[in-house]
Structure 1
Amino acid sequence: MRSLQAKIIATLHVQPIIDPKQEISRSVDFLKQYLRLNPQYQSYVIAVSGGQDSTLAGKLAQIAIQELNSENHLQQYELIAVRQPYGAQRDEADAQAALAFIEPNQVITTNIKTATDAMTTALRTSGLAVDDMSRGSIKPKMRMIAQYAVAREHQGVVIGTDHAAEAFAGFFTKYGDGGTDINPLWRLNKRQGRQMLAALQAPHSLYEKVPTADLEDERPQLADEAALGVSYNDIDDYLEGKVIAEHAAKTIENLYLASEQKRHEPVTIYDTWFY
């Protein structure tokens, strides 16, 4: 195994093989324990897009909520799913299928188009260009603001969907979809997430669809693999300690090294990792 590969695997805690049912139970117990240890919170809040990651995290959270409510008759917990399209979502049918599978206690819609467009206009009035990539960074930050507003009014905790096959590359928006309280999928690669959804008997369409962040107006539904420049199959193999093509391994390692700062809290004078 390559030395940097071993470091990345250890840092992200990826296992080469998982028992999907065991990891489901592990994640559910983790989510339950967090609420037990923090009795000031009564709900989990998660943005549901219709993709694999939010479908899995949402279902794990709802199982945790149901089990907690069954075990604890003094406090009733709930899962709040937040729908956050920018205008009309092209794959809205997938989002609705995900909600049907997750069965949240509440669904709240916070369309981010007005807020995103207003921020874009304000920035351009200040003399900034605000190109398509910049707007693609504004959208998840607007979503984060709305999620925390929902969480504040429902004594909630915001669930993130980040996992190893994205975290290695910093493939998230810092203080956007990366701004969360708890990440139950951390340690899993994309393949393992699919295995868990299959074990949960999710509709195949929700984990067999092409993953996309859908943030750029000029490149709608851009596949994650196109944005990353490497396939999830290669990423998963690499994170499981397997040998992959040299060019793919180098792409993964370059992405990891270039995104180091995104996986850390704001740097203080006491941090030494960047010296």
Structure 2
Amino acid sequence: MKTPIFNAEAVAQHITLWLKNYAESAGVKGFVIGISGGIDSAVTSTLCALTGLPTLCIEMPIHQAESQVARGREHLAFLQAKFSNVRTNKADLTETFDVLQKALPQEDQDSDTLRLTLANTRARLRMTTLYYFAGMERALVAGTGNKIEDFGVGFFTKYGDGGVDLSPIADLLKSEVRALGLYLKVPSSIIDAKPTDGLFGDDRSDEDQLGANYDELEKAMFAQEQGVTAADLSGREREVFEIYTRLNRINQHKINPIPVCIIPQNLKK
């Protein structure tokens, strides 16, 4: 099952206009976005830059792998060479993270739960930093989540990279984001790099964490939308489908809006 082909030029123009109209309606000056060295932030920042509005790109390393830092800087150089409305800044959060980590109880230093919790803490420090810059710039924080991450498997940190003002590429599959990156001439080193959230201070990829790559997960998403069940599949397709449906189920608390307890009127009297 193949991802439907789409018109990258038309999609880029549509998102750019949507971003510009939203910012103007909100009465803000432009956008702030975190640069990770990955394809999602590269495409999103380029689309923001295409609006012509001030676009501030922030590096926020926390014990970051050099390969990720290098890709991020390559993309920043690409943006600044192409767009006069793009500015960059850097907030090295490594020391801040280390101080916070030391201040928190960590009874089991080797726990997988601890490692995941600290990874999410990194994402939340970055969110706080982006909103600092957004407040100073009177700008909106642009999110970088794609459709598979945001609405498929919930592969993001609540109030971390999920804490944004608007999501320009959240209706695009990862394959579509790649196609858009090619159209926008994002550096090939970024397009070809294995996706990673960079939250663990090592070289583990998204596929290592999820147990499947994005192309496989897209097929599973399509299959579920068409009413396919695990019993209809076999081999690797069934394995990935079960990974997808399990993650989709357990991450509904991130995928759906915050539940509100509605109090019946008769109880308020």
Instruction: Verify same fold: TM over 0.5.
Output: yes
**Residue 111 of structure 1, aligned match among 67, 88, 92:** 92
CA deviations on 1:74-105 (whole Å, 9 max, x unpaired) are xxx31000000014542222111111222362
TM-score (normalised: structure 2): 0.84
Task: Tell me the equivalent position of 2:182.
Answer: 198
Runs of 4+ off more than 6 Å:
none
Alignment CA distance shift 1:270-1:18 (3 Å): farther
Is this contact kept in 2: 1:55–1:102, CA < 8 A? no
Find the aligned partners of 1:51 and 1:36 in 2 and give their Cα distance.
28
Is this contact kept in 1: 2:64–2:198, CA < 8 A? no
Find the aligned partners of 2:254 and 2:184 in 1 and give their Cα distance.
31
Instruction: Specify the SS of the correspondent of 2:89.
Output: strand
Alignment partner of 1:179 is 2:155:
no
Structure 1 range deviating more: 147-156 or 105-114: 105-114
Task: Tell me the equivalent position of 1:132.
Answer: 115
- Map of 1:244-259 to 2, 5 A cutoff? 245-259=237-251
**Residue 72 of structure 2, aligned match among 88, 95, 98:** 95
**Residue 144 of structure 1, aligned match among 127, 130, 137:** 127
Is this contact kept in 2: 1:17–1:240, CA < 8 A? no
Task: Tell me the equivalent position of 2:266.
Answer: none
Instruction: Specify the SS of the correspondent of 1:124.
Output: coil
Instruction: Specify the SS of the correspondent of 2:105.
Output: helix
Which runs of no fewer than 5 residues in structure 2 stay unpaired? 264-269
Alignment partner of 1:54 is 2:70:
no
What fraction of aligned residue pairs are identical, expressed as a percent?
Answer: 24
Give the CA deviation at 1:120. 1.0
**Residue 221 of structure 1, aligned match among 178, 198, 203:** 203
Is this contact kept in 1: 2:143–2:162, CA < 8 A? yes
TM-score (normalised: structure 1): 0.82
Instruction: Specify the SS of the correspondent of 1:186.
Output: coil
The number of residue pairs the alignment matches comes to: 243
Instruction: Specify the SS of the correspondent of 2:159.
Output: coil
Find the aligned partners of 1:87 and 1:43 in 2 and give their Cα distance.
29
Root mean square deviation of aligned Cα? 2.2
Task: Tell me the equivalent position of 1:159.
Answer: 142
Instruction: Specify the SS of the correspondent of 2:43.
Output: helix
Find the aligned partners of 1:240 and 1:169 in 2 and give their Cα distance.
13
Find the aligned partners of 2:259 and 2:218 in 1 and give their Cα distance.
30
Structure 1 range deviating more: 188-197 or 240-249: 240-249
Give the CA deviation at 1:240. 4.5
CA deviations on 1:28-58 (whole Å, 9 max, x unpaired) are 011011012112x112000011110000000
Is this contact kept in 1: 2:37–2:72, CA < 8 A? yes
Task: Tell me the equivalent position of 1:74.
Answer: none
CA deviations on 1:201-237 (whole Å, 9 max, x unpaired) are 22211111101112114xx121101100112111123
**Residue 154 of structure 2, aligned match among 170, 186, 191:** 170
Task: Tell me the equivalent position of 1:72.
Answer: none
